[in-house]
Structure formats: C-alpha cells, structure tokens
C-alpha cells in the first residue's frame, strides 16, 4: 500500500462509496467541507493496487489541538492495514 497526501477527489470518491459505517458519513448540512481537510503532512490516503483503501487526517482546531478523522470504504479488505499504515505514518497516532 502507498500513502499519498489526501486530496479532495479522494474524499469525494470515498464518500460516494459505502463507508465502513454510515455513522461516519458527514451530515449534508456540512456542505462543501472537503477542502478544509487538506492539510500538508496531516492528511493521507491509502492506495492499494490502484484502489482507495481509506483516508485519515487531523483537522486543526487551534494551535496544538486537532480532531482526527478516518474514512474507510466497506468493501476495503485492508481496513486494519490501512489504519496501521496511517498510524505508523504519525497521522493519527
């Protein structure tokens, strides 16, 4: 699996798929929030054999404080490996 910087297109593709738990799907009233998740060195996408296996990151709230997020499609057989890889990268540990 490769880890690449998170992009808006990755998030849109993951949300268009079935998530591992629909409770993780953002409410429609959040609108176009996807660009706010793109932070260099703080958000990553896992890609395995050309397929998105998940994305995770930290949404900064204020200096030294952030909120972690993690999306995985239900069809991904690599859920645990995606989490381990993103955590090892220091993204969401």
- The residues facing 86 across adjacent strands are none
Confidence of residue 2 (pLDDT cuts 50, 70, 90): confident
Sequence ranges of the domains in the chain: 2-88
- Matching residue, tokens 């176009």: 32
Nearest Cα neighbor of 67 from 32, 26, 21 is: 26
55-77 residue pLDDT tens: 889 988 999 899 888 887 766 65
Rounded Cα–Cα distance for residues 39 and 66 (Å): 12
Task: Give the CA count within 13 Å in the CB-facing half-sphere of 76.
Answer: 27
82: number of Cβ within 10 Å:
27
With a cut of 70, say whether residue 34 has pLDDT above it: yes
Confidence of residue 45 (pLDDT cuts 50, 70, 90): very high
Pairing relationship of beta strands 43-48 and 51-62 according to DSSP bridges: antiparallel
């Amino acid at each position: 699996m490769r880890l690449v910087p998170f992009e808006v297109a990755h998030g849109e593709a993951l949300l268009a798929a079935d998530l591992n738990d629909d409770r993780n799907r953002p409410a429609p009233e959040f609108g176009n929030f996807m660009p706010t998740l793109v932070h260099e060195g703080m958000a990553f996408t896992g890609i395995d054999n050309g397929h998105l296996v998940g994305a995770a990151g930290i949404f900064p709230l204020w200096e030294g404080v952030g909120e972690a997020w993690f999306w995985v499609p239900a069809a991904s057989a690599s859920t645990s490996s995606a989490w381990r890889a993103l955590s090892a990268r220091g993204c969401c540990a």
